[in-house]
Amino acid sequence: MHVGIIMDGNGRWATKRGLPRLMGHKRGANRVKDIVKASPDLGVDTLTLYAFSTENWKRAAHEVEGLMKLFRGYLQNHFVELNEKNVRVRFLGDPSPLAADIRKQMELLTDLTKDNTLITLNIAINYGGRDELVRATRKIATLVKDGALDVADINEDTISAHLDTLQGDDPDLIIRTAGELRLSNFMTWQSAYSELAFVEKSWPEFTPKLFAEVLADYRSRTRQFGAVIPKTADISDT
């Protein structure tokens, strides 16, 4: 099962407690660790976390710097452990505006963990669903221009294959913390049939127990993907 999470509410969590917003992000980074650890036992084999959006650059410079420091720290501190724990790490988004050392760590970690099998952890940094579609469109247009692809052969699979998720599974469930009811440019293409869950608690308060409850609620839903699934009684009639 693939779960995407929009980790919202770090700032509000901190402000409510009279703390600087960056303290909220720090707490948030600890939550990342807890939730990644809890995921395999909860039946999650792919976890996609929205860590920094293409819009987040508009925040105050010191907050952006603080977040970058957190990513750097997370990559350094968890580099070996993520691999030892058999986690395959991938990054979504356009890395080009990120600091060279962060980009290098991202590349090394992606390469080091590429054959790991316990869980895939997609970390979305400088990610925007629309930006991802623009970049995919450019790649596809280049193939057409170079004569490697016929316009008539472009289909949904072509687009999926050129997204940052590399034709990976679409998220079965997208969770957003902190009470806002929108997707904010997260997995725009991939979310077409995703179930959505919005929780009131902020990301620093999102415990593995709460994660398990949200997953249990999801599992009680019936997903039909636009089709009509016959009831069990109807199936036994045929």
- Residues serving a catalytic function are 8, 56
CA atoms of 74 and 81, how far apart (whole Å): 11
**Dist. CA 42–CA 171, nearest whole Å:** 15
12 binds ligand FPP (CB under 6 A): yes
Nearer to ligand FPP, 153 or 180 (CB): 180
Contact call for residue 175 and ligand FPP (CB under 6 A): no
Q: Which helix (H) or strand (E) holds 60?
A: none
What type of residue sits at position 90? R
Residue 83 in contact with residue 72, Cβ under 8 Å?
A: no
Interface with ligand FPP, residue 170, by CB under 6 A: no
Part in contact with ligand FPP (CB under 6 A); list of ranges 6-14, 85-93, 95-103, 131-139: 6-14
Q: Cβ of residue 212: shortest distance to ligand FPP, in angstroms? A: 19
- For the chain, how many residues are written? 238
- φ/ψ of 176, rounded to 5, equals -125, 130
What value does the CA radius of gyration of the chain take, rounded to a whole number of Å?
19
Interaction between residue 37 and ligand FPP (CB under 6 A): no
Decide: is 116 part of the binding site for ligand FPP (CB under 6 A).
no
Residues that bind ligand FPP (CB under 6 A): 7-12, 25, 28-29, 32, 49, 51, 56, 67, 70-71, 74, 123, 178, 203
